[in-house]
Amino acid sequence: MKLNQATDYAFRMVLHMSLLSPGEKVTGAVLAERELIPERFLLKIMRSLIAAGIMRSFRGVDGGFALNREPQNISLLDVIRAVEGDAYLQQCLYDMGSCSKSCRGRCAINEAMGIIQHQLIDQLEGVNFYQLAEREAVILQELQPLSQVQ
């Protein structure tokens, strides 16, 4: 499984929003600038995050985007599914008819990959953006003295 660039950007967007005060809004332009994401691409990704209930948008002069759920209720898997849909390690894990060996999706490799797939899903579900935001705050604090020296 290889995650695409949109998913990487979505992770960064949700992490950025998780570092803000609850309910705080940010415009797409500001978020794009802070996270170094092309604004048009950011807005496309944002539509997927809104459709998945991860983000919400506000119109008008004070418009922008905010998290729609608490960071502890948003997992890495939620973001992956919002942007890419369900992610599988092998095609035969979701389409048994795709097996060129004609074993209807059942072989030792399929069984092993199925176990690994379940473990991966569990790990991705187990990491939430509250945890990531806490760690990111520590990393930013550690990096701050470095930026002051330069």
Average pLDDT, the chain: 89
| Residue 58, both tokens | 């506000």
Domain membership flag for residue 146: no
- In tens, the pLDDT along 15-45 reads 999 999 998 999 999 999 999 999 999 999 9
Domain membership flag for residue 14: yes
What residues contact residue 42 under an 8 Å CB cut-off, 6+ apart?
9, 13, 28, 31, 32, 35
Whether 141 shows a pLDDT value over 80: the answer reads yes
Domain membership flag for residue 142: no
CA atoms within 13 A on the CB side of 62: 3
Domain membership flag for residue 145: no
- In tens, the pLDDT along 94-115 reads 666 666 666 665 788 888 888 9
SS3 74: coil
Whether 150 shows a pLDDT value over 60: the answer reads no
pLDDT at 4: 93
Our count of domains for the chain comes to: 1
C-alpha 51/C-alpha 53 separation (Å) is 5
Domain membership flag for residue 96: yes
Domain membership flag for residue 140: no
The structure's pTM equals 0.86
Q: Any idea what the CATH number is for the domain that residue 103 is in?
A: 1.10.10.10
Domain that holds residue 27: 5-135
